[in-house]
Structure 1
Amino acid sequence: MSEEKTPTPHVGDLLISEPFLQDENFSRSVVLLCEHNDDGSFGLVFNKPSILRINEILEDFDFLDLEVYVGGPVEQNTLHYVYWGNKELEGSIQIGENLWWGGDFEELVSRLKTGTFDLENIRFFLGYSGWAPGQLIDELTEDTWIICKEEVDRETFHLTPEELWRNLLKNMGGEFKVIANYPMDPRLN
Structure 2
Amino acid sequence: MLNNIKPKTGRLLISEPFMADPNFKRSVVLLTEHGEDGTVGYILNQLGNLLLKDVVQDLWAADNLIYFGGPVASDTLHFIHRAYDKLLSGEEMGNGIYWGGNFETLKILINTNAIDESEIKFFMGYSGWGSGQLDNEIKENAWMVSDVSNPDLIFGNDDEKLWRDVIVNLGPKYAHVSNFPIDPSLN
Is the TM-score greater than 0.5? yes
Q: Which runs of 5+ in 2 are unaligned?
A: none
| Counterpart for residue 177 of structure 1 | 175
Aligned counterparts of 2:83 and 2:173: Cα–Cα separation in 1: 32
Task: Provide the TM-score with structure 2 as the length reference.
Answer: 0.93
Task: Provide the TM-score with structure 1 as the length reference.
Answer: 0.92
| Counterpart for residue 121 of structure 2 | 123
Q: In the alignment, which of 132, 135, 138 is matched to residue 137 of structure 1? A: 135
Aligned-residue CA RMSD (Å): 1.7
Structure 2 CA distance for partners of 1:150 and 1:91, relative to 1, 3 Å: closer
Q: In the alignment, which of 80, 94, 102 is matched to residue 96 of structure 1? A: 94
User: How does 1:146-165 map onto structure 2 within 5 Å?
Assistant: 146-165=144-163
Aligned length: 186
**Maintained 8 Å contact 1:49/1:68:** yes
Per-residue deviation, 1:114: 1.3
Q: Which runs of 5+ in 1 are unaligned?
A: none
Per-residue deviation, 1:85: 4.5
Aligned counterparts of 1:159 and 1:118: Cα–Cα separation in 2: 14
Aligned counterparts of 1:127 and 1:119: Cα–Cα separation in 2: 19
Structure 2 CA distance for partners of 1:30 and 1:116, relative to 1, 3 Å: same
2:101 corresponds to which letter in structure 1? G
The alignment status of 1:38 with 2:36, answered yes or no, reads yes
Q: In the alignment, which of 13, 16, 22 is matched to residue 14 of structure 2? A: 16
Q: In the alignment, which of 45, 48, 59 is matched to residue 47 of structure 1? A: 45
2:162 corresponds to which letter in structure 1? L
